[in-house]
Chain A
Amino acid sequence: MTGSITVAASSPEAARSLGRPRPRSAPWADLACHGLLASLAALVLAVAILILFETARGAAPSISAFGFRFLGSTEWDPVADRYGALPYLYGTIVSSALALTLALPLGIGTAVFLAELAPPRLGEAVAFLVELLAAIPSIVYGIWGVFVLAPWLRSALEPWLVAHLGLLPLFRGFPFGIGMLNAGIVLAVMVSPTIISLSRQILLALPGSLREAALAMGATRAEAIGVMLDAARPGLLGASILGLGRALGETMAVTMVIGNTNRISASLLAPGATMASVIANEFTEATGKLYLSALTEIALVLFALTVIVNALARLLVRGATGARRDIAGAA
């Protein structure tokens, strides 16, 4: 928009009010149009409230039966009707933490490669590929984890870990192939497209003068990149938390590769379960009212956890890129 209009519409607010008729003179059709669109928007709000309300209502019997003990107990006994979610809480947190430990350095390194080092054409092509990979459904990652990754872990990586790093409690036990390590690796592969494309956008949004100033002062290329990363830190933190949000709620792939036992084990080679995987596994088979309610309460806790994590991430990324839209598109 250039020319004479810009004077009148220098701010977005002014521009919008220019295009908006006065309410007094609006004919009924305009009011109806506004009302229709507003009620559709209200419907979105209603959907969110309904989801929250419905999960909370379903969880109510379990909440009143177990209270806060629910989160601290490891008991999961459908026969005696006693439930505790600690193993699942533990599994969700450990598998997501493992995923981020793997995906974060690799993802940010890749983003640096794409934004700073690769020729722009190559960078864009690879970034496009990475975005395509984000569209692969979770079930496909799961099937790959079961039939390709698990045999390799069982026969190659895990025996090696046990032999060489077996002193650590992390790598003790029998190499099943299926378990926490497998879940962590699959999750890392799944969240890395999110981390890569967001971090790349954040790095590209930084002013180039930062890099040029560093280079002009005699910094090496890596040192100049360090300056850029320093400036991008809040945004990169946001991108990683957004990746964490994804890992926390990921269901199908994890359900297929984690082994599904409600035991807490220090070893990464041991099978486990996450909040999402226990819901996926047991919800249709839950016969008792309290059983179903306990699973619904797990869904409620998962809901709350992801809402908090996502809100935090959005706050950080928005501050870094100055635009809400990139995130909406990438998330």
Chain B
Amino acid sequence: MKAQKRRRLIADIVGCIIAIIVLMPFFLVLINSAKSSADIVVSPIALPTNWGQMLTNMSNVINNQNFSYWTSFASSMLITVVSLVLLIVFSSMAAWVLSRNKTKWSNVIFMIFVSAMVIPFQVVMLPLLSTFRGFSTFTGIQMLSSYKGIIFAYLGFGGSMSVFILHGFIKNIPYELEEAAWIDGCTPEGTFFRIIFPLLKPVQVTVLILNGLWVWNDYLLPSLMLGLNGKIKTLPVAVSSFVGSYVKQWDLILSAAFLAMIPIVVLFLFAQKQIIHGMVEGAIK
């Protein structure tokens, strides 16, 4: 009994120490975003003497031309929300068609979706830019540095994994449900939106979380498509462009980082279980 108690105590201590180490960077961001530049030079690990400095730093950063927090936050929000809604609706629709029709074509299309999950962004990013540029000059629809362009791109890139996850789920929904609706005179689109779509909710949450975190944190795609100093900036792009123009001004950079972290941390506090569950599910599938 004594040995067991001691072991539990050791586990407690170890867990605690690791948690402190893991959370340390966040703590350092917090304390240093409440210091002036000079104070950071003196000591980056001392507690701030005047927490009011944080407000000064924040307002400096928020109103900064390169960062413009609220605008970037709104852009990130808009891009993420619209991409996710479209992605959920369209990939559920596609996955339903692909899993309910056992024809050669639907198999081929599904296989293409699945194998495309291997394609890294790097191999398509350069031709993507030129394809979009060509598309814009040909049709007059602005695709680069515009919301519709980047949302369209996220729809395309997120599509294959979403279809894959949803497809696996729809396969297990009994087909009799649809037949019953069909006999009662429901149209195919009615069957989908009234019966199948609501049943997909648990797996849609997984798709939502996986894609949401990816779109929200993505840097490379928006930096290429919107430009580092373009009119529209997402938060990661804004942070990067801010760092580029305020090299080594750590008080401001850390305040910017702090502001960029806040939304996700708050979201995590509220939806911790769903987020962890969603990300694990996504990896296992």
Q: Do A and B come from one complex?
A: no
**A residues in contact (CB < 8 Å) with B:** none
